[in-house]
Chain A
Protein backbone atom coordinates (compact mmCIF):
# COMPACT_ATOMS: atom_id res chain seq x y z
CA UNK A 1 0.00 0.00 0.00
CA UNK A 2 1.33 3.42 -0.89
CA UNK A 3 0.38 6.36 1.22
CA UNK A 4 0.88 9.61 -0.64
CA UNK A 5 2.83 12.10 1.43
CA UNK A 6 0.27 14.78 0.77
CA UNK A 7 -2.25 12.64 2.62
CA UNK A 8 0.10 11.63 5.42
CA UNK A 9 -0.85 12.17 9.06
CA UNK A 10 2.29 13.03 10.97
CA UNK A 11 2.80 13.79 14.65
CA UNK A 12 5.45 16.51 15.01
CA UNK A 13 7.54 16.81 18.19
CA UNK A 14 9.85 19.79 18.69
CA UNK A 15 11.94 19.34 21.84
CA UNK A 16 15.34 20.80 20.96
CA UNK A 17 14.88 23.96 23.02
CA UNK A 18 13.31 25.12 26.27
CA UNK A 19 9.77 25.20 24.95
CA UNK A 20 8.14 21.89 24.19
CA UNK A 21 5.97 22.10 21.07
CA UNK A 22 3.67 19.50 19.51
CA UNK A 23 1.67 19.62 16.28
CA UNK A 24 -0.23 17.41 13.86
CA UNK A 25 0.32 17.61 10.14
CA UNK A 26 -2.38 16.49 7.71
CA UNK A 27 -0.54 16.56 4.41
CA UNK A 28 0.82 20.10 4.08
CA UNK A 29 -1.63 21.50 6.64
CA UNK A 30 -0.92 21.87 10.34
CA UNK A 31 -4.28 21.04 11.86
CA UNK A 32 -3.40 21.23 15.57
CA UNK A 33 -0.62 22.76 17.62
CA UNK A 34 -0.01 22.91 21.38
CA UNK A 35 2.96 24.42 23.18
CA UNK A 36 3.95 23.82 26.81
CA UNK A 37 2.63 26.26 29.40
CA UNK A 38 6.13 27.20 30.56
CA UNK A 39 9.78 26.52 29.69
CA UNK A 40 11.33 23.17 30.65
CA UNK A 41 8.02 21.36 31.10
CA UNK A 42 8.77 18.70 28.47
CA UNK A 43 8.77 15.71 30.80
CA UNK A 44 5.52 16.67 32.52
CA UNK A 45 3.54 17.97 29.56
CA UNK A 46 4.55 16.35 26.28
CA UNK A 47 2.09 13.44 26.30
CA UNK A 48 -0.68 15.77 27.48
CA UNK A 49 0.06 18.08 24.54
CA UNK A 50 -0.02 15.13 22.15
CA UNK A 51 -3.35 14.01 23.58
CA UNK A 52 -4.78 17.54 23.34
CA UNK A 53 -3.70 17.84 19.68
CA UNK A 54 -5.29 14.50 18.84
CA UNK A 55 -8.55 15.45 20.55
CA UNK A 56 -8.63 18.75 18.67
CA UNK A 57 -8.10 16.94 15.36
CA UNK A 58 -10.47 14.12 16.24
CA UNK A 59 -7.71 11.58 15.57
CA UNK A 60 -6.55 8.47 17.37
CA UNK A 61 -2.83 7.70 17.74
CA UNK A 62 -3.08 4.44 15.75
CA UNK A 63 -4.33 6.46 12.76
CA UNK A 64 -0.98 8.26 12.43
CA UNK A 65 1.28 7.46 9.50
CA UNK A 66 4.52 8.57 11.18
CA UNK A 67 6.10 10.39 14.10
CA UNK A 68 8.59 13.15 13.27
CA UNK A 69 10.93 14.58 15.86
CA UNK A 70 13.44 17.37 15.96
CA UNK A 71 16.88 15.74 15.94
CA UNK A 72 18.84 18.53 17.65
CA UNK A 73 21.32 19.95 18.31
CA UNK A 74 19.82 21.47 21.42
CA UNK A 75 19.17 20.87 25.09
CA UNK A 76 20.19 17.31 25.96
CA UNK A 77 17.44 16.82 28.52
CA UNK A 78 14.71 18.17 26.27
CA UNK A 79 15.89 16.10 23.31
CA UNK A 80 15.83 12.99 25.50
CA UNK A 81 12.19 13.55 26.40
CA UNK A 82 11.18 13.99 22.75
CA UNK A 83 13.27 11.04 21.60
CA UNK A 84 11.98 8.70 24.31
CA UNK A 85 8.37 9.65 23.62
CA UNK A 86 8.78 9.29 19.85
CA UNK A 87 10.39 5.88 20.34
CA UNK A 88 7.62 4.82 22.74
CA UNK A 89 4.85 5.68 20.30
CA UNK A 90 6.61 4.21 17.27
CA UNK A 91 7.47 1.01 19.15
CA UNK A 92 4.00 0.60 20.63
CA UNK A 93 2.13 1.18 17.39
CA UNK A 94 4.73 0.05 14.81
CA UNK A 95 4.94 3.49 13.21
CA UNK A 96 7.93 4.82 11.27
CA UNK A 97 10.03 7.52 12.93
CA UNK A 98 11.42 10.53 11.09
CA UNK A 99 14.26 12.65 12.46
CA UNK A 100 14.21 16.21 11.15
CA UNK A 101 17.37 18.32 11.42
CA UNK A 102 16.45 21.07 13.88
CA UNK A 103 18.73 23.61 12.23
CA UNK A 104 17.49 22.90 8.72
CA UNK A 105 13.85 23.19 9.83
CA UNK A 106 14.63 26.51 11.50
CA UNK A 107 16.51 27.74 8.43
CA UNK A 108 13.57 26.79 6.22
CA UNK A 109 11.10 28.61 8.46
CA UNK A 110 13.22 31.76 8.40
CA UNK A 111 13.69 31.46 4.62
CA UNK A 112 9.91 31.30 4.20
CA UNK A 113 9.46 34.25 6.55
CA UNK A 114 12.18 36.52 5.14
CA UNK A 115 12.48 35.57 1.44
CA UNK A 116 15.94 37.16 1.40
CA UNK A 117 18.92 36.18 -0.72
CA UNK A 118 21.89 35.37 1.47
CA UNK A 119 23.17 32.71 3.81
CA UNK A 120 20.91 31.48 6.60
CA UNK A 121 22.36 30.73 10.01
CA UNK A 122 19.70 29.15 12.24
CA UNK A 123 20.91 29.33 15.86
CA UNK A 124 20.10 27.20 18.86
CA UNK A 125 21.15 28.81 22.11
CA UNK A 126 23.91 26.87 23.86
CA UNK A 127 24.32 29.31 26.79
CA UNK A 128 26.79 32.14 27.32
CA UNK A 129 27.87 33.36 23.86
CA UNK A 130 27.73 29.89 22.32
CA UNK A 131 25.25 28.76 19.67
CA UNK A 132 24.71 25.62 17.65
CA UNK A 133 24.52 26.67 14.02
CA UNK A 134 25.10 25.67 10.40
CA UNK A 135 24.94 27.60 7.10
CA UNK A 136 22.08 27.05 4.62
CA UNK A 137 21.62 28.73 1.25
CA UNK A 138 18.45 30.41 0.00
CA UNK A 139 17.24 27.02 -1.31
CA UNK A 140 17.60 25.53 2.19
CA UNK A 141 20.55 23.38 1.13
CA UNK A 142 23.19 22.89 3.81
CA UNK A 143 26.47 24.72 3.10
CA UNK A 144 28.53 23.27 5.91
CA UNK A 145 28.52 21.16 9.06
CA UNK A 146 26.67 22.00 12.26
CA UNK A 147 29.04 23.42 14.86
CA UNK A 148 29.07 24.88 18.33
CA UNK A 149 30.30 28.44 17.77
CA UNK A 150 31.23 31.09 20.33
CA UNK A 151 29.88 34.26 18.76
CA UNK A 152 32.19 37.23 18.33
CA UNK A 153 32.43 40.31 16.12
CA UNK A 154 34.38 38.55 13.37
CA UNK A 155 32.40 35.29 13.20
CA UNK A 156 30.85 36.12 9.79
CA UNK A 157 33.77 38.20 8.46
CA UNK A 158 34.20 36.07 5.37
CA UNK A 159 30.52 36.41 4.36
CA UNK A 160 30.69 40.19 4.93
CA UNK A 161 33.79 40.41 2.73
CA UNK A 162 32.00 38.53 -0.04
CA UNK A 163 29.04 40.91 0.32
CA UNK A 164 26.63 38.08 1.18
CA UNK A 165 23.97 38.98 3.76
CA UNK A 166 23.81 36.74 6.82
CA UNK A 167 20.31 35.91 8.05
CA UNK A 168 20.07 34.78 11.66
CA UNK A 169 17.14 32.99 13.27
CA UNK A 170 16.37 30.87 16.30
CA UNK A 171 16.61 31.40 20.04
CA UNK A 172 20.38 31.88 19.86
CA UNK A 173 20.20 34.83 17.43
CA UNK A 174 19.07 37.65 19.68
CA UNK A 175 22.13 37.62 21.91
CA UNK A 176 24.37 38.06 18.84
CA UNK A 177 23.17 41.66 18.39
CA UNK A 178 25.55 42.63 21.16
CA UNK A 179 28.68 41.44 19.33
CA UNK A 180 27.96 41.44 15.57
CA UNK A 181 28.35 44.45 13.23
CA UNK A 182 25.04 45.99 12.09
CA UNK A 183 25.80 45.91 8.36
CA UNK A 184 25.19 42.72 6.47
CA UNK A 185 23.30 40.95 9.28
CA UNK A 186 19.55 40.38 9.13
CA UNK A 187 17.69 39.15 12.19
CA UNK A 188 14.80 36.94 11.15
CA UNK A 189 11.45 37.22 12.89
CA UNK A 190 11.67 33.47 13.48
CA UNK A 191 12.94 33.12 17.03
CA UNK A 192 11.56 30.02 18.72
CA UNK A 193 11.61 26.53 17.26
CA UNK A 194 8.07 25.22 16.94
CA UNK A 195 6.65 21.87 15.87
CA UNK A 196 4.92 23.16 12.67
CA UNK A 197 8.37 24.08 11.27
CA UNK A 198 9.18 20.35 11.06
CA UNK A 199 6.34 19.55 8.68
CA UNK A 200 7.83 20.34 5.22
CA UNK A 201 11.03 18.37 5.88
CA UNK A 202 9.11 15.58 7.61
CA UNK A 203 6.85 15.20 4.59
CA UNK A 204 9.81 15.14 2.24
CA UNK A 205 11.43 12.38 4.35
CA UNK A 206 8.15 10.48 4.51
CA UNK A 207 7.80 10.59 0.74
CA UNK A 208 11.39 9.38 0.32
CA UNK A 209 10.93 6.68 2.95
CA UNK A 210 13.84 8.19 4.87
CA UNK A 211 13.01 6.77 8.28
CA UNK A 212 15.24 6.41 11.33
CA UNK A 213 16.07 3.15 13.06
CA UNK A 214 13.60 3.47 15.91
CA UNK A 215 15.57 1.32 18.36
CA UNK A 216 19.09 2.60 17.80
CA UNK A 217 18.41 6.23 16.92
CA UNK A 218 20.12 8.84 19.11
CA UNK A 219 19.54 12.59 19.13
CA UNK A 220 22.15 14.78 17.42
CA UNK A 221 24.08 15.83 20.54
CA UNK A 222 26.85 17.53 18.51
CA UNK A 223 29.27 17.22 21.45
CA UNK A 224 30.60 14.11 23.19
CA UNK A 225 29.77 13.77 26.90
CA UNK A 226 31.95 16.01 29.00
CA UNK A 227 33.91 13.48 31.03
CA UNK A 228 37.01 14.11 33.07
CA UNK A 229 38.80 11.09 34.43
CA UNK A 230 40.70 11.76 37.64
CA UNK A 231 44.36 10.85 37.19
CA UNK A 232 45.08 11.59 40.83
CA UNK A 233 46.55 8.64 42.68
CA UNK A 234 45.15 8.36 46.18
CA UNK A 235 48.02 6.33 47.55
Chain B
Protein backbone atom coordinates (compact mmCIF):
# COMPACT_ATOMS: atom_id res chain seq x y z
CA UNK B 1 0.00 0.00 0.00
CA UNK B 2 1.46 3.31 -1.00
CA UNK B 3 1.20 6.35 1.26
CA UNK B 4 -0.40 9.35 -0.45
CA UNK B 5 -0.65 12.67 1.38
CA UNK B 6 -2.33 15.95 0.53
CA UNK B 7 -0.68 18.89 2.29
CA UNK B 8 -2.06 22.41 2.75
CA UNK B 9 -0.11 25.53 3.71
CA UNK B 10 -1.85 28.86 4.46
CA UNK B 11 0.21 30.47 7.21
CA UNK B 12 0.82 33.85 5.58
CA UNK B 13 -0.06 35.25 2.15
CA UNK B 14 0.46 32.22 -0.10
CA UNK B 15 -2.13 29.48 -0.48
CA UNK B 16 -0.39 26.24 -1.33
CA UNK B 17 -1.23 22.56 -1.76
CA UNK B 18 0.98 19.58 -2.53
CA UNK B 19 0.62 15.86 -3.09
CA UNK B 20 3.27 13.40 -1.93
CA UNK B 21 3.42 9.68 -2.61
CA UNK B 22 5.84 7.42 -0.71
CA UNK B 23 8.18 10.28 0.11
CA UNK B 24 8.17 11.82 -3.36
CA UNK B 25 6.53 15.20 -3.94
CA UNK B 26 4.31 14.74 -7.01
CA UNK B 27 2.93 18.27 -7.12
CA UNK B 28 3.52 21.55 -5.30
CA UNK B 29 1.17 24.40 -6.26
CA UNK B 30 1.22 27.93 -4.89
CA UNK B 31 -1.30 30.75 -5.38
CA UNK B 32 0.45 34.05 -4.66
CA UNK B 33 -1.55 37.03 -3.49
CA UNK B 34 -0.56 40.01 -5.59
CA UNK B 35 -2.91 42.34 -3.68
CA UNK B 36 -0.38 42.93 -0.89
CA UNK B 37 1.99 44.72 -3.26
CA UNK B 38 -0.45 47.63 -3.28
CA UNK B 39 -0.17 47.98 0.47
CA UNK B 40 3.59 47.51 0.87
CA UNK B 41 3.22 44.48 3.12
CA UNK B 42 0.94 41.61 4.03
CA UNK B 43 -2.49 42.81 5.21
CA UNK B 44 -3.90 39.97 7.35
CA UNK B 45 -7.57 40.54 6.50
CA UNK B 46 -6.79 40.73 2.78
CA UNK B 47 -4.73 37.53 3.04
CA UNK B 48 -7.50 35.66 4.89
CA UNK B 49 -10.09 36.60 2.29
CA UNK B 50 -7.84 35.55 -0.57
CA UNK B 51 -7.10 32.16 1.03
CA UNK B 52 -10.84 31.58 1.20
CA UNK B 53 -11.24 31.75 -2.59
CA UNK B 54 -7.85 30.21 -3.46
CA UNK B 55 -8.05 27.07 -1.36
CA UNK B 56 -10.19 24.83 -3.57
CA UNK B 57 -8.59 25.82 -6.91
CA UNK B 58 -5.11 25.25 -5.47
CA UNK B 59 -5.96 21.91 -3.87
CA UNK B 60 -7.73 20.78 -7.02
CA UNK B 61 -4.73 21.76 -9.15
CA UNK B 62 -2.33 19.91 -6.84
CA UNK B 63 -4.39 16.71 -7.12
CA UNK B 64 -4.73 17.03 -10.90
CA UNK B 65 -1.01 17.81 -11.36
CA UNK B 66 -0.19 14.71 -9.35
CA UNK B 67 -2.78 12.60 -11.17
CA UNK B 68 -4.21 11.57 -7.81
CA UNK B 69 -7.88 11.17 -6.93
CA UNK B 70 -9.22 12.30 -3.54
CA UNK B 71 -10.21 8.71 -2.80
CA UNK B 72 -6.54 7.62 -2.96
CA UNK B 73 -5.42 9.91 -0.12
CA UNK B 74 -4.06 8.32 3.07
CA UNK B 75 -4.07 11.46 5.23
CA UNK B 76 -4.45 15.26 5.12
CA UNK B 77 -1.51 17.35 6.35
CA UNK B 78 -1.69 21.04 7.17
CA UNK B 79 0.32 23.87 8.69
CA UNK B 80 -1.01 24.39 12.21
CA UNK B 81 1.27 27.36 12.94
CA UNK B 82 3.04 29.60 13.54
CA UNK B 83 1.54 32.25 11.26
CA UNK B 84 -1.35 34.67 10.81
CA UNK B 85 -4.38 33.29 12.61
CA UNK B 86 -6.96 34.37 10.01
CA UNK B 87 -4.88 32.74 7.27
CA UNK B 88 -4.19 29.55 9.21
CA UNK B 89 -7.89 29.16 10.07
CA UNK B 90 -8.80 28.73 6.40
CA UNK B 91 -6.25 25.98 5.71
CA UNK B 92 -6.75 24.16 9.02
CA UNK B 93 -10.57 24.21 8.83
CA UNK B 94 -10.55 23.08 5.21
CA UNK B 95 -8.09 20.28 6.03
CA UNK B 96 -10.20 19.10 8.96
CA UNK B 97 -13.32 19.00 6.79
CA UNK B 98 -11.45 16.96 4.16
CA UNK B 99 -10.23 14.53 6.82
CA UNK B 100 -13.73 14.14 8.24
CA UNK B 101 -15.36 13.75 4.82
CA UNK B 102 -12.84 11.28 3.40
CA UNK B 103 -12.59 9.49 6.75
CA UNK B 104 -8.78 9.71 6.86
CA UNK B 105 -6.41 10.98 9.58
CA UNK B 106 -4.99 14.47 10.00
CA UNK B 107 -1.33 15.39 10.41
CA UNK B 108 -0.42 18.78 11.87
CA UNK B 109 2.88 20.31 10.82
CA UNK B 110 4.98 23.07 12.37
CA UNK B 111 5.74 25.60 9.65
CA UNK B 112 9.36 26.21 10.71
CA UNK B 113 10.16 22.51 11.04
CA UNK B 114 8.74 22.02 7.57
CA UNK B 115 11.09 24.67 6.14
CA UNK B 116 13.97 22.59 7.52
CA UNK B 117 12.60 19.24 6.37
CA UNK B 118 12.15 20.67 2.86
CA UNK B 119 15.77 19.49 2.44
CA UNK B 120 14.44 15.93 2.31
CA UNK B 121 12.26 16.60 -0.72
CA UNK B 122 15.21 16.19 -3.09
CA UNK B 123 18.83 14.96 -3.13
CA UNK B 124 21.36 15.65 -1.75
CA UNK B 125 19.95 15.28 1.74
CA UNK B 126 21.88 16.40 4.82
CA UNK B 127 22.99 13.75 7.32
CA UNK B 128 21.85 13.95 10.96
CA UNK B 129 22.76 15.83 13.02
CA UNK B 130 22.91 18.99 10.93
CA UNK B 131 22.56 22.71 11.55
CA UNK B 132 19.94 24.71 9.70
CA UNK B 133 19.82 28.49 9.41
CA UNK B 134 16.13 29.23 8.82
CA UNK B 135 15.57 32.77 7.57
CA UNK B 136 12.38 34.37 6.32
CA UNK B 137 10.27 37.49 6.65
CA UNK B 138 9.02 36.27 10.00
CA UNK B 139 11.84 34.16 11.43
CA UNK B 140 15.58 33.94 11.87
CA UNK B 141 16.94 30.96 13.76
CA UNK B 142 19.71 28.39 13.94
CA UNK B 143 18.37 24.92 14.63
CA UNK B 144 20.25 21.73 15.47
CA UNK B 145 18.39 18.93 13.70
CA UNK B 146 19.06 15.53 15.27
CA UNK B 147 16.22 13.73 13.49
CA UNK B 148 12.95 14.70 11.75
CA UNK B 149 11.35 14.74 15.20
CA UNK B 150 14.18 16.09 17.35
CA UNK B 151 15.14 19.70 16.73
CA UNK B 152 16.64 22.23 19.12
CA UNK B 153 16.67 25.98 18.50
CA UNK B 154 20.21 27.11 19.33
CA UNK B 155 19.66 30.78 18.60
CA UNK B 156 17.09 33.14 17.14
CA UNK B 157 16.32 36.78 16.57
CA UNK B 158 15.43 38.85 19.61
CA UNK B 159 13.56 41.41 17.50
CA UNK B 160 13.13 41.64 13.71
CA UNK B 161 13.69 38.78 11.27
CA UNK B 162 16.38 39.06 8.59
CA UNK B 163 13.67 39.17 5.91
CA UNK B 164 12.11 42.14 7.67
CA UNK B 165 15.44 43.97 7.51
CA UNK B 166 15.37 43.47 3.73
CA UNK B 167 11.73 44.54 3.42
CA UNK B 168 12.07 47.58 5.64
CA UNK B 169 15.18 48.73 3.83
CA UNK B 170 13.27 48.32 0.59
CA UNK B 171 10.50 50.51 1.97
CA UNK B 172 13.03 53.25 2.83
CA UNK B 173 14.45 53.03 -0.68
CA UNK B 174 11.00 53.14 -2.26
CA UNK B 175 11.30 49.63 -3.72
CA UNK B 176 8.20 47.49 -4.32
CA UNK B 177 7.11 44.85 -1.80
CA UNK B 178 8.41 42.21 -1.26
CA UNK B 179 11.76 43.95 -1.51
CA UNK B 180 14.13 41.06 -0.75
CA UNK B 181 14.39 39.79 -4.35
CA UNK B 182 14.63 43.36 -5.71
CA UNK B 183 17.46 44.29 -3.34
CA UNK B 184 19.19 41.04 -4.29
CA UNK B 185 19.07 41.94 -8.01
CA UNK B 186 20.28 45.51 -7.49
CA UNK B 187 23.00 44.34 -5.09
CA UNK B 188 24.52 42.19 -7.82
CA UNK B 189 25.21 45.37 -9.82
CA UNK B 190 26.75 47.28 -6.89
CA UNK B 191 29.66 47.16 -4.48
CA UNK B 192 29.28 47.02 -0.70
CA UNK B 193 31.09 50.31 -0.08
CA UNK B 194 28.90 51.66 2.74
CA UNK B 195 29.65 50.26 6.15
CA UNK B 196 26.65 49.48 8.33
CA UNK B 197 27.21 48.39 11.93
CA UNK B 198 27.20 44.79 13.07
CA UNK B 199 25.12 44.26 16.23
CA UNK B 200 26.84 42.75 19.26
CA UNK B 201 24.45 40.09 20.48
CA UNK B 202 25.71 37.37 22.80
CA UNK B 203 25.55 33.66 21.98
CA UNK B 204 23.82 32.50 18.82
CA UNK B 205 20.96 35.00 18.90
CA UNK B 206 20.38 37.68 16.27
CA UNK B 207 19.14 41.26 16.21
CA UNK B 208 18.17 43.27 13.15
CA UNK B 209 16.23 46.23 14.52
CA UNK B 210 19.38 48.22 15.34
CA UNK B 211 20.69 47.68 11.84
CA UNK B 212 17.40 48.88 10.39
CA UNK B 213 17.60 52.11 12.41
CA UNK B 214 21.26 52.61 11.51
CA UNK B 215 20.44 52.28 7.80
CA UNK B 216 17.56 54.75 8.15
CA UNK B 217 19.65 57.37 10.00
CA UNK B 218 22.55 57.01 7.60
CA UNK B 219 20.31 57.42 4.56
CA UNK B 220 18.46 60.38 6.10
CA UNK B 221 21.77 62.11 6.79
CA UNK B 222 23.08 61.50 3.28
CA UNK B 223 19.82 62.62 1.63
CA UNK B 224 19.89 65.89 3.58
CA UNK B 225 23.34 66.67 2.19
CA UNK B 226 22.70 65.20 -1.24
CA UNK B 227 19.01 64.85 -2.28
CA UNK B 228 19.75 62.36 -5.06
CA UNK B 229 21.91 60.15 -2.83
CA UNK B 230 19.59 57.14 -2.98
CA UNK B 231 19.05 57.35 -6.72
CA UNK B 232 22.76 57.82 -7.44
CA UNK B 233 23.89 55.03 -5.12
CA UNK B 234 20.99 52.57 -5.18
CA UNK B 235 22.97 49.52 -6.30
CA UNK B 236 25.77 50.17 -3.81
CA UNK B 237 23.33 50.75 -0.94
CA UNK B 238 21.59 47.45 -1.74
CA UNK B 239 24.93 45.63 -2.00
CA UNK B 240 26.03 47.09 1.34
CA UNK B 241 22.83 46.21 3.18
CA UNK B 242 22.77 42.71 1.74
CA UNK B 243 26.43 42.14 2.53
CA UNK B 244 25.88 43.21 6.15
CA UNK B 245 22.79 41.04 6.69
CA UNK B 246 24.52 38.03 5.12
CA UNK B 247 27.67 38.41 7.23
CA UNK B 248 25.61 38.71 10.42
CA UNK B 249 23.86 35.46 9.54
CA UNK B 250 26.94 33.55 8.44
CA UNK B 251 29.14 34.57 11.37
CA UNK B 252 26.59 33.16 13.81
CA UNK B 253 26.25 30.04 11.72
CA UNK B 254 30.05 29.57 11.85
CA UNK B 255 29.99 30.09 15.60
CA UNK B 256 27.25 27.46 15.96
CA UNK B 257 29.21 25.01 13.82
CA UNK B 258 32.39 25.50 15.82
CA UNK B 259 30.50 25.18 19.12
CA UNK B 260 28.71 21.97 18.18
CA UNK B 261 31.37 20.48 15.92
CA UNK B 262 28.66 19.90 13.30
CA UNK B 263 29.77 20.42 9.69
CA UNK B 264 26.56 19.45 7.92
CA UNK B 265 25.12 22.93 7.29
CA UNK B 266 21.82 23.84 5.63
CA UNK B 267 19.83 27.01 5.00
CA UNK B 268 16.07 27.27 4.61
CA UNK B 269 13.22 29.80 4.39
CA UNK B 270 12.45 32.62 1.99
CA UNK B 271 15.74 34.48 2.52
CA UNK B 272 17.67 31.32 1.55
CA UNK B 273 16.71 32.27 -2.02
CA UNK B 274 19.03 35.29 -1.65
CA UNK B 275 22.03 34.97 -4.00
CA UNK B 276 24.37 36.70 -1.55
CA UNK B 277 23.51 34.26 1.21
CA UNK B 278 23.82 31.28 -1.12
CA UNK B 279 27.22 32.38 -2.39
CA UNK B 280 28.40 33.36 1.10
CA UNK B 281 27.42 29.99 2.52
CA UNK B 282 29.33 28.13 -0.19
CA UNK B 283 32.42 30.30 0.34
CA UNK B 284 32.37 29.89 4.09
CA UNK B 285 31.63 26.19 3.72
CA UNK B 286 34.73 25.80 1.59
CA UNK B 287 36.94 27.39 4.24
CA UNK B 288 35.33 25.56 7.17
CA UNK B 289 35.11 22.14 5.53
CA UNK B 290 31.31 22.05 5.61
CA UNK B 291 28.92 20.05 3.51
CA UNK B 292 26.39 22.73 2.60
CA UNK B 293 22.76 22.24 1.58
CA UNK B 294 20.71 24.86 -0.23
CA UNK B 295 17.09 24.10 -1.15
CA UNK B 296 15.72 24.53 -4.67
CA UNK B 297 13.97 27.89 -5.07
CA UNK B 298 10.47 26.38 -4.95
CA UNK B 299 11.25 24.97 -1.50
CA UNK B 300 12.63 28.25 -0.09
CA UNK B 301 9.46 30.32 0.05
CA UNK B 302 6.27 29.10 1.71
CA UNK B 303 5.02 25.98 -0.02
CA UNK B 304 2.99 22.91 0.81
CA UNK B 305 5.61 20.52 -0.59
CA UNK B 306 7.67 21.01 2.56
CA UNK B 307 4.54 20.42 4.68
CA UNK B 308 4.01 17.14 2.84
CA UNK B 309 7.61 16.04 3.43
CA UNK B 310 7.40 16.81 7.16
CA UNK B 311 4.03 15.06 7.34
CA UNK B 312 5.43 11.96 5.65
CA UNK B 313 7.82 11.39 8.56
CA UNK B 314 4.97 11.88 11.00
CA UNK B 315 2.81 9.45 9.03
CA UNK B 316 5.51 6.78 9.21
CA UNK B 317 5.73 7.44 12.93
CA UNK B 318 1.95 7.15 13.41
CA UNK B 319 1.86 10.73 14.66
CA UNK B 320 -1.69 11.89 13.87
CA UNK B 321 -3.81 14.79 15.11
CA UNK B 322 -7.38 14.69 16.38
CA UNK B 323 -10.29 16.63 14.89
CA UNK B 324 -10.19 18.97 17.91
CA UNK B 325 -6.97 20.59 16.66
CA UNK B 326 -7.08 24.33 16.07
CA UNK B 327 -4.60 26.72 14.45
CA UNK B 328 -1.95 28.38 16.59
CA UNK B 329 -0.48 31.77 15.66
CA UNK B 330 2.40 30.96 18.02
CA UNK B 331 3.55 27.41 18.33
CA UNK B 332 6.54 26.10 20.30
CA UNK B 333 9.05 24.25 18.16
CA UNK B 334 9.38 20.94 19.99
Contact = CB atoms under 8 A, between A and B. Distances in A.
A50 B56 CA distance: 21
A46 B46 CA distance: 24
Contacts of B55: 84, 87
B96 interface: yes
Nearest to B327: A43
A171 interface: no
A149 interface: no
Contacts of B89: 43, 77, 80-81, 84
B143 interface: no
A41 to B, nearest CB: 8
Contact of B323 (A48, A87, A93): A48
B53 A80 contact: no
Contacts of A6: none
Contacts of A93: 101
Interface in B61-83: 70
A225 B92 contact: no
Contacts of A2: none
Contacts of A46: 93, 96
B90 A80 contact: yes
A98 B271 CA distance: 43
Contact of B45 (A45, A83, A91, A225): A225
A112 interface: no
B97 A84 contact: yes
B8 to A, nearest CB: 10
B32 interface: no
Interface residues of B, number: 46
Is the contact region of chain A dominated by helix, strand, or loop, or is it mixed? Answer: helix
A227 B46 contact: yes
A92 interface: yes
A218 B53 contact: yes
B49 interface: yes
Interface string B291-334: 00000000000000000000000000000000111110000000
A234 interface: yes
A85 interface: yes
Contact of A76 (B86, B171, B230, B326): B86
Nearest to B10: A84
Interface residues of A, number: 38
B162 interface: no
Contacts of A219: 52
Interface in B173-194: 173-174
A82 B93 CA distance: 8
B97 A89 contact: yes
Contact of B57 (A43, A84, A215, A229): A215
A88 B93 contact: yes
Nearest to A219: B52
Interface in B89-122: 89-102
Nearest to B46: A225
B223 A51 contact: no
A229 B40 contact: yes
B326 A51 contact: no
B97 A92 contact: yes
Interface in A38-55: 43-48, 50-51
Interface string B218-243: 01100100000010000000000000
B3 interface: no
Contacts of B284: none
Contacts of B98: 88, 91-92
B312 to A, nearest CB: 21
A213 to B, nearest CB: 10
Given A43-B327, A235-B223, A87 B94 contact: yes
Interface of B: 38-40, 43, 45-46, 48-49, 52-53, 55-57, 59-60, 70, 85-86, 89-102, 171-174, 216, 219-220, 223, 230, 323-327
9 contacts: A47-B99, A76-B45, A84-B93, A88-B95, A92-B98, A218-B53, A225-B49, A229-B38, A235-B230
Given A87-B55, A225-B49, 9 more contacts: A43-B92, A44-B324, A80-B90, A84-B93, A85-B96, A88-B100, A88-B101, A227-B39, A234-B172
